[in-house]
Chain A
């Protein structure tokens, strides 16, 4: 793992996750400073705003601004939730944060609880990484035993309780309101918005939800200052960010780099393309982000603004790299199957539309495509987008639109010739078991 960042730096894999190690790295200094100097909540939110930290969960919403939406004078309980339900295909950063540096998330959440006056928080952890959930429980206990968490933190009158909650296999629970439903012990089906969680969240109380990596960035911002964090990245895109690089590279893994780093540098860090093959396409922000041709990516820098100008999204920072052996129809078929499987079924356009998308891409891939199928795909996506309760409908549509837009020739070839443009044995060779 190459590290020049603030979350996964100075770590020694599995061996340095405990409280004592974290304290040695300057851990909990930010919290201690807040308590000792009685820093006002406004000042903390101001510092987070200055840092230009943007939500690391996918939407890239400015965190400081989100925190300022929490009603200050609300008389009852307020809650905090951490979204560790990492299930967006291609994303595997929060797992590493939680298993290698869990206390930075805990400290970030305590500080957030202080800044927004929340009395309780939950960390919702993806069910498939159950071992990480168990470790997080241990880390929580360490923090409680050290007086960092619970009633009267560090001898002050500030109290904050934090609990871990695990999912059990439902991608949709990563959507923030579905996540709240799931913590309440129900099916994870997204709620209508508005009302937004800041006014009606967990158990009907004001709630703020942030991604694991977002919380993990907070201790640094308080310790070193918002300006220092901003300076690591570029204007409007503060800080360093974790990128999960997967696919046809020599060294898949997490790379923490300053926002604004050229994509070509990241690709080099990940060991370059496998067997010297040519870069064909990249999905720069998790499976829901539009795909971009390799040549376009090579001109991008890795930050919210550059990727969005190129027509995609930085999303969760999951970079899926595909080389020339990839059949783009087959790749899309697998993604469309995923969204069809994971639609929660509440809204008709999403439930029926994701089924249509999968079936049409499936038949094109299997040589049964019809001449007007590409128009059909575009019209189905147009009927889904903007007409659903949550963003899964859009997330399922954007890959379809972008694959057809950039690789339309390959789809047309399938329909006309009833086979792949990339020969099957080449595909087979390109995607065989590869372990770095």
Chain B
């Protein structure tokens, strides 16, 4: 799993060739590695934008603005969930509980950077920073 994570960090997403490469490196059948890559949600098996933003909309977050935050980002970027902006900069995803519900609204940038208490101002700031 660590190997796939590193491959994805390098390549942006996991193409079949990348998965085959990882399989060869680990000495495993490609299908076994593909099974793992397709089982876990944080692996991307299709191209995503330079920055992938996942917003948690599960119930605890939704009670404190998770859905509102997601709507705000959709409007700002002009895309829906599972879409990428035309310039290839951003992809938006709907996330499940990230174990940080006390910090709602919560979002995750490129799987690893967690952003807490995302008010509209903070979302503006984040999107501006990510464009740099």
B62 within 8 A of A: yes
Number of A interface residues in the complex (CB < 8 A): 53
Q: A168-B41, A320-B59, A320-B60 are in contact. Are A433 and B65 (CB under 8 A)?
A: yes
Contact B101–A246 (Cβ < 8 Å): yes
Q: A246-B64, A247-B64, A335-B59 are in contact. Are A170 and B40 (CB under 8 A)?
A: yes
Of chain B, the residue at the smallest CB distance from A326 is: B63
From A59-67, A181-189, A406-414, the one touching the partner chain is A181-189
B120 within 8 A of A: yes
Of chain A, the residue at the smallest CB distance from B112 is: A130
A89: B residues at CB distance < 8 A: 58-60, 96-97, 101
Q: Which residues of chain B from 60 to 75 have any CB-CB distance to chain A below 8 Å in the complex?
A: 60-65, 67-69
Contact B42–A127 (Cβ < 8 Å): yes
B62: A residues at CB distance < 8 A: 334, 431
Of chain A, the residue at the smallest CB distance from B36 is: A187
How many residue pairs link A and B with beta carbons under 8 A? The number is: 154
Q: Measured between alpha carbons, how far is A312 from B109 in the docked complex, in Å?
A: 36
From A43-51, A248-256, A388-396, the one touching the partner chain is A248-256
Q: Measured between alpha carbons, how far is A168 from B5 in the docked complex, in Å?
A: 8
Contact B39–A187 (Cβ < 8 Å): yes
Number of B interface residues in the complex (CB < 8 A): 44
B119 within 8 A of A: yes
A245 within 8 A of B: yes
Q: A91-B99, A252-B101, A320-B63 are in contact. Are A435 and B42 (CB under 8 A)?
A: no
Indicate with 1 or 0, residue by residue over A151-192, a CB within 8 angstroms of chain B CB atoms. 000000000000001111111000000000010011110000
B100 within 8 A of A: yes
Contact A431–B117 (Cβ < 8 Å): no
Indicate with 1 or 0, residue by residue over B83-104, a CB within 8 angstroms of chain A CB atoms. 0000000000001111111111
A131 within 8 A of B: yes
Q: A170-B40, A287-B59, A431-B63 are in contact. Are A245 and B102 (CB under 8 A)?
A: yes
Q: A320-B59, A431-B62, A432-B65 are in contact. Are A185 and B98 (CB under 8 A)?
A: no
